[in-house]
Structure 1
Amino acid sequence: MKTGKLFLIPTTLGDNQALVSLPTSVYEKVAVLDFYIAENEKTARKFIKQLAPEKKQAELSFNILNKHTDPLELQHFLDKAEEGFDIGLLSEAGCPGIADPGAEIVKLAHQKDIKVIPLVGPSSILLTMMASGLNGQNFTFHGYLPIQKQERKQFIKKLEGLSVENQQAQIFIETPYRNEKLFADLLSFLHPSTQLCIGCDVTLTTEYIKTKPIHEWKNIKIDIHKRPAIFIIQK
């Protein structure tokens, strides 16, 4: 029996229209898929309805992948692919598998020899890196920084040191409601000449992307509270 494929389906980075950031290949695939893996069924259904309004919602089947998913249950998320059906993996925002729990499903697909097909879509990490003017030849994504102040200070200084040692841009993120606290810590702990790029609301009408040295950021007023943001530093 022929095995189905796993399609990695990117989503928008906010409430903007999908046509702004998604190619027709995504529309075409969503229109024919019935089986999905997603973080949140409600938002996944809303996204699918936006792209394929003619599709009957009752025909859709979901497996939910988030921090509450039982690892034993996860092992069965690709059963339909093994039965010959194609499956779509949706992220809550951006590209599946990038700063996203979908990486576990992709890993499982490779273990089961299920073909993985990534579709083109927006990644706030790469879009901010593209627009930063920092080293696009050599960069590292670190995910979330430590929450505790002293540990965070040490980690920020470590990233600054790595950027000097390797001539490398250092990328990281924060939970949106803690953005302003992280920004204050960066201003306090980084060298005045270190470059900082902040990419906020990427691809939305409120998009803000700016790169400045720390000493200039100290004179800039910016509202990033509860707005999805990417931070990049390089010295």
Structure 2
Amino acid sequence: MAGRLLLVPAPLDFGCEPPVPLDRALPDASLVAASQLTHWIVENAKTARAFLKRVGEVHPLAVPLQQMQMAELPREVHKKGDHAGGFDARPMLAAAKDGHDIGLLSEAGLPAVADPGSSVVRAAHDLGIEVVALAGTSSLLLALAASGLNGQNFAFVGYLPQDAAARTQRIRELEALALKGQTQLFIETPYRNQVLWQALLQSLRPSTRLAYASGLTLAAASNGSHAVQRWRELPAPVANDTPAVFAVGK
């Protein structure tokens, strides 16, 4: 019997201190499933081992970390994404054809959602391998739920350009879509949150609604949602060193 591909969620505290207690961040059933896996496809092996060490503190691992079979997704998949094709992930699933369940893991949140992994999922379907998505947190959905913006029609657009002129143009393009009723969600790399925040306040219309969610699931988590005009009257709310999701809508 062929094995399955399990999409294993990771906590949202990657790169943050202190980490969240794992049994509070993820459902126990997902942790049990992760603890029984011996074969992995991961975004980063070092990060994956650190995660599995935390899992082992809650539920005993099936084999020691040193005996885990772990394959990293290629760096090009990280940089350019793997949703558009061009990367053949079928060889990475050979162990499933031999009867082993394989875990797919990214650094934070759900693999293949704002993270690499979709090529592996597609390959599993093409090979007739069962795909099982385990329950866990998604920063995008948590931020959307907390924003008060339209949750019936929304889009995640990844990162905005770093060049100031290109970023301003992109913000205005997204605002036009948002004002038609489709909430626009995007993220920024650590230590650029405040640069993006100021660009949003300068580029968006005063009446456009702007929301943020920072440090989701952490002890210092915060979020807010106001018209841009109101935000211009307040101190910048988002920390520069904490993962954040931003949303524009009406």
TM-score range, shorter chain: over 0.9
Q: Is the 8 A contact 2:160 2:186 kept in 1?
A: yes
Residue deviations 1:24-70, cap 9 Å, x none?
Answer: 11121122110011111122112112112432112211001142569
The worse-fitting range, judged by mean Cα deviation, of 84-93 and 211-220 is 211-220
Q: Give the structure 1 partner of residue 69 of structure 2.
A: 61
Give TM-score, length-normalised by structure 2.
0.88
Q: Is the 8 A contact 1:162 1:168 kept in 2?
A: yes
SS in structure 1 of the partner of residue 191 of structure 2: helix
The alignment status of 1:173 with 2:187, answered yes or no, reads yes
The worse-fitting range, judged by mean Cα deviation, of 62-71 and 174-183 is 62-71
| Alignment map for 1:207-218 (pairs within 5 Å) | 207-218=221-232
The alignment status of 1:190 with 2:204, answered yes or no, reads yes
Paired amino acid for 2:20: N
Paired amino acid for 2:120: I
Q: Give the structure 2 partner of residue 6 of structure 1.
A: 5
CA shift for structure 1 position 79:
0.7
SS in structure 2 of the partner of residue 176 of structure 1: coil
Provide the C-alpha distance between the structure 1 equivalents of 2:77 and 2:213, rounded to a whole number of angstroms: 31
Q: Give the structure 2 partner of residue 18 of structure 1.
A: 22
Unmatched tracts of structure 1, length 5 or more: none
Provide the C-alpha distance between the structure 2 equivalents of 1:224 and 1:157, rounded to a whole number of angstroms: 24
Give TM-score, length-normalised by structure 1.
0.94
Residue deviations 1:93-128, cap 9 Å, x none?
Answer: 011110011112111111212111000000000001
SS in structure 2 of the partner of residue 81 of structure 1: helix
SS in structure 1 of the partner of residue 185 of structure 2: strand
Q: Give the structure 2 partner of residue 83 of structure 1.
A: 98
Q: Give the structure 2 partner of residue 136 of structure 1.
A: 151
Provide the C-alpha distance between the structure 2 equivalents of 1:224 and 1:124, rounded to a whole number of angstroms: 16
Provide the C-alpha distance between the structure 1 equivalents of 2:179 and 2:202, rounded to a whole number of angstroms: 18
Q: Is the 8 A contact 1:141 1:170 kept in 2?
A: yes
Q: Is the 8 A contact 1:66 1:101 kept in 2?
A: no
The worse-fitting range, judged by mean Cα deviation, of 119-128 and 26-35 is 26-35
CA shift for structure 1 position 201:
0.4
Provide the C-alpha distance between the structure 2 equivalents of 1:141 and 1:110, rounded to a whole number of angstroms: 24
The worse-fitting range, judged by mean Cα deviation, of 102-111 and 49-58 is 49-58
Provide the C-alpha distance between the structure 1 equivalents of 2:77 and 2:96, rounded to a whole number of angstroms: 19
Paired amino acid for 1:82: K
Provide the C-alpha distance between the structure 1 equivalents of 2:6 and 2:87, rounded to a whole number of angstroms: 22
Count how many residue pairs are aligned between Structure 1 and Structure 2. Answer: 233
CA shift for structure 1 position 220:
2.1
Provide the C-alpha distance between the structure 1 equivalents of 2:87 and 2:25, rounded to a whole number of angstroms: 35
SS in structure 2 of the partner of residue 52 of structure 1: helix
Provide the C-alpha distance between the structure 2 equivalents of 1:58 and 1:29, rounded to a whole number of angstroms: 19
CA RMSD for the aligned pairs?
1.7
